[in-house]
Amino acid sequence: MPDKFKFAFMPSASCGGCEIAIVDIDEVILKVAELADIVYWPTALDFKDHHLEALPDGSITVGFFNGAVRNDHDVHHAKLLRQKSAFVVAFGACAQMGGIPSLGNFWTTEELAHRMYDTVPSVNNPEGTRPQLKYDAPEGELTLPRAMDRAYALDQVIDVDYYLPGCPPQVKWIVAAVEAVASGELPPKGTVIAGTKAVCDECPRERSEEKQVTEFKRIHLVENDPEKCLLEQGIMCCGPATRDGCEAACVTAGQACRGCFGPTDNVNDMGAKLASAIASITVADAQEEADRILGHLDDPAGYFYRFGLAKSMLGVQRGEFKPEAE
Amino acid sequence: MAEAFEPKIVGLLCTWCAYTGADLAGTSRIKYPPNVRPIRIMCSGRVDPQFVLDAFAHGADGVLVGG
Amino acid sequence: MLKKILGQMGLNPGRLRLEWLSASEAQRYAATVAEFTDEIRALGPIPAGVEDAAVAKEEVHAG
């Protein structure tokens, strides 16, 4: 047995849920501790950038990166982790495909800042003050990272070896990843460590295979039949395009699938695939009828790309057209 | 910059309907703009929305689905 | 539905058009193509998405 493995956990534009998922593996963490030294984990222990910079290049066995890449400091972190790690794992939906932070890509950074510092109802900022990237404090110059034009998925910035999907990733797949490292039986590069089919394949609800939706409803406004397919009950569910491996956790609990595992291997674009799935279950003979039914879905792009706007085919706001609903 | 903008349009055309129609337009020597790049598909029902987004992602300025 | 998504992504939904044409309608095909080409020409090219300089450099390297 060689020396102990070395793991690093790098947080970025994320909510912290991924870090909690790491702790959530319970007693397995003891096995991880037996197997590996954690050489960098700023969320849990007092690590600074210079600790990571001091390590030899490629000395970390696996670098886990969670969160989207939103500012230039995140880019620095991503590149640094790549340099120091033999393998880099995009940990969680944000690192894998942009996640929730990339929903901001519907707007420009200026529009987001305007919303955040001027027009949010709880903000009182009559002078239009904005955070400054540099500030001369009596103690010395203080700096803030610069927000980039949009949020990126990790593999749009650095080379990524594996992906652990989910919001947050599930314990069993984290354990599977750690075991793969321990046994040395690594899957091919680029593998998404989860299932290979769609959530519908794991879903216990029954499907009738018939077109039957004449109206879409929001899930909290109706009582759904726990035995039947949510989509067929007119409740938007991302199952048909979403990678399985979660044991249909949300759907089993009475909630619709939100697509956090990202698209399956056969799906290139979640939004397009879901638009297609919806079309195949909707009963409409005329365009007007279809428009009426689909009109119930207020924010299809936001729903379909909830976790993956940065990796969608169109990818980014083009600024040519503004929907009226703004 | 002096060059005028010529749109690139991807035409997803059903082999039985629009594609044959386009063929006929050619054999009848009807003049029409050369901007549409036809892609023959076996049926317009085969068109996946992903094709459309893919076309846009690869730089198409417009997409015409002909069934 | 797809048009709505295009709209939300800041693309003009007018860039997508569905037309039912039969095999004998060569005239109509030509007319549709001419009309659609003019419409798209009026819209102009699709604006390129923004790419941050800090990231763009790395993509060349990774590619």
Q: Let me know if residue A319 belongs to a domain.
A: no
Q: What is the pLDDT of residue B3?
A: 67
Local confidence band at A318 (pLDDT 50, 70, 90 cut-offs): low
Per-residue pLDDT of A274-312, as tens digits, reads 988 888 888 877 888 888 888 888 888 889 999 999 888
Q: Which pLDDT does position A1 carry in this prediction?
A: 45
Residue of C nearest to B11 (CA): C33
Distance between CA atoms of A208 and A283, rounded to whole angstroms? 14
How far does A317 lie from chain B, in Å, by closest CA?
12
B contact chains, 3+ CB pairs < 8 A: A, C
- Does residue A155 share a domain with residue A6? yes
In a domain, B3, yes or no: no
- Contact (CB, 8 A) for B41 and B14: yes
Counting the structural domains of chain C, the total is 1
Write the CATH number for A41. Answer: 3.40.50.700
Question: Are A102 and A149 contacting, i.e. CB atoms less than 8 angstroms apart?
Answer: no
Whether A118 has a pLDDT exceeding 90, the answer reads yes
Q: Are residues A90 and A118 in the same domain?
A: yes
pLDDT for position A166: 94
| Residue B25 domain boundaries | 9-66
- Of C52 and A172, the one with more pLDDT: A172
Is residue C22 included in any domain, yes or no?
yes
Cβ-nearest to A273 among B50, B52, B57: B50
Helices (H) and strands (E) in chain B, counts: 2, 3
Using the beta-carbon criterion (under 8 Å), do A316 and C59 form an inter-chain contact? no
* Segment holding A229, helix H or strand E: none
Q: Are both A261 and A188 inside the same structural domain?
A: no
Of B48, B56, B57, the CB nearest to A276: B48
- First vs last Cα of chain A: how many Å apart? 60
Q: CA–CA distance from B12 to each of A158, B44, B49 (Å)?
A: 35, 7, 11
pLDDT, average across residues A98-102: 93
Domain check: are A246 and A259 in the same one?
yes
Q: Is residue C31 part of a domain?
A: yes
Mean pLDDT across chain B: 87
CA distances from residue A93 to A8, A89, A223, A259, B20 in whole angstroms, order as listed: 18, 12, 29, 9, 45
- Examine the pLDDT at A323 and tell me if it is beyond 90: no
Query: Residues C2-53: pLDDT tens digits?
Result: 777 777 777 788 888 888 888 888 888 888 999 999 988 888 888 766 555 5
Q: How confident is residue A209, by pLDDT bands cut at 50, 70 and 90?
A: confident
Model pLDDT, residue A11: 94
Question: For chain A, how many structural domains are there in total?
Answer: 2
pLDDT at res. C62: 38
Among A29-33, A38-42, A166-170, the minimum mean pLDDT is found in A29-33
**Is C40 part of a structural domain of the chain?**
yes
| Higher-scoring residue by pLDDT: A319, A93 | A93
Q: What is the overall mean pLDDT for chain A? A: 89
